[in-house]
Homo-oligomer: A and B are copies of this chain.
Amino acid sequence: MVPMGEFDLLARIRERLPASGARTHLGSGDDAAITVPGGATATSVDALLDGVHFRRDLASPRQIGHKALATALSDLAAMGAEAGEAYVVLGLPADFSEQQCLELLDGMTALAAATGTDLAGGDLSRAGELFLAVTVVGHAPVPGELVQRAGAQSGDALVLTGEIGGAAAGLELLDNPRSEADSVLVKRQLEPTPRLAAGRALARAGATAMIDLSDGLGADAGHLARASGVKLEIEAGSVPLAPGAVALSEATGRDPWWLLSAGEDYELLASVPANHLEEATAAVLGEGGTALTQVGEVRGGSGVEIRLPDGRLLEPGGFDQLA
């Protein structure tokens, strides 16, 4: 069954899509898009729902579109893949206007253009609540150039792009606004940046394992440790925290180390052989425009150990005591 007006809306959406990318032989409008990948592909799907992953009262349609594509592309960044194509499913509730739908698409097409992603297809449906499901396909010449969660070796350096805690602080500020100066934190929450160039630089520099931080440093480090069959030792004092997030924690009487469990920063956590650390740091800064910081080491064993500057040891499940 086709929702009323779907064909009209699809036509208006297609008018706004930029020309297809080099790999796309046939874009939106047929039964399927046709591409010629020419090597290995990395494919990931992400669902975003109103009330779960965003709130329509806090984010504009444009920001919702941006965030849906950004979080999907972040998975490609974590593979060290080049962004390729995106396919978008929209579930549209009755109170989401056609104009809002087009604004949502504008947020997506702007990020697609900035990252070289081709919006190659999609589907629309009526829905009780707004949701998006985004499939992204990334590319690499051969599978071996893509970086998995498994592969970290004892002795590798554990490295992190950028800084964390900003997105969670931004979420708090959306509910309890303080000052204009906090807009950088709010933007981290509403308009995350997928670290695609940094991910490719890390892959080329020999990263042995990689993951993007959606669930929080502790939880995502746990995923990487489990997949690689290693123990990750993290020095909390080395982890770059967003300055505004630390200030917010202090102002609200919370231990700033809770930010180590804060999610949605979409930074990359990777293991790099110690003798590649210098090369990786230079490459991430040069190509990704992002700082790369060593935050710990890979050891034999299992699990994640986070050492606070005062010597306390935290398990990823132990953050609640700080919150």
Contacts and interface: CB of A to CB of B under 8 A. Distances in A.
Contact of A43 (B42, B53, B120, B263): B120
Contacts of A282: none
Interface stretch (A84-92, A249-257, A300-308): A84-92
Given A26-B148, A129-B127, A135-B135, A1 B53 contact: yes
Interface string A5-42: 00000000000000000000110011111111101111
Interface residues of A, number: 67
Majority SS of interface residues in chain A?
Answer: strand
A159 B60 CA distance: 47
Interface in A226-242: 227
Contacts of A2: 215
Contacts of A41: 34-37, 41
Contact of A44 (B1, B32, B40, B215): B32
A173 interface: no
Interface in A50-69: 51-53
A148 B30 contact: yes
A131 B127 contact: yes
Contacts of A125: 47-49, 52-53, 131
A143 interface: yes
A284 interface: no
Given A47-B123, A91-B47, A143 B36 contact: yes
A297 to B, nearest CB: 22
A88 to B, nearest CB: 7
A75 B40 CA distance: 23
Nearest to A93: B128
Contact of A123 (B45, B123, B129): B45
Given A125-B53, A128-B129, A45 B143 contact: no
Given A52-B125, A123-B46, A32 B75 contact: yes
9 nearest A-B pairs in the assembled complex, by CB-CB distance? A133-B133, A32-B42, A32-B44, A31-B78, A135-B135, A89-B133, A31-B75, A47-B125, A47-B89
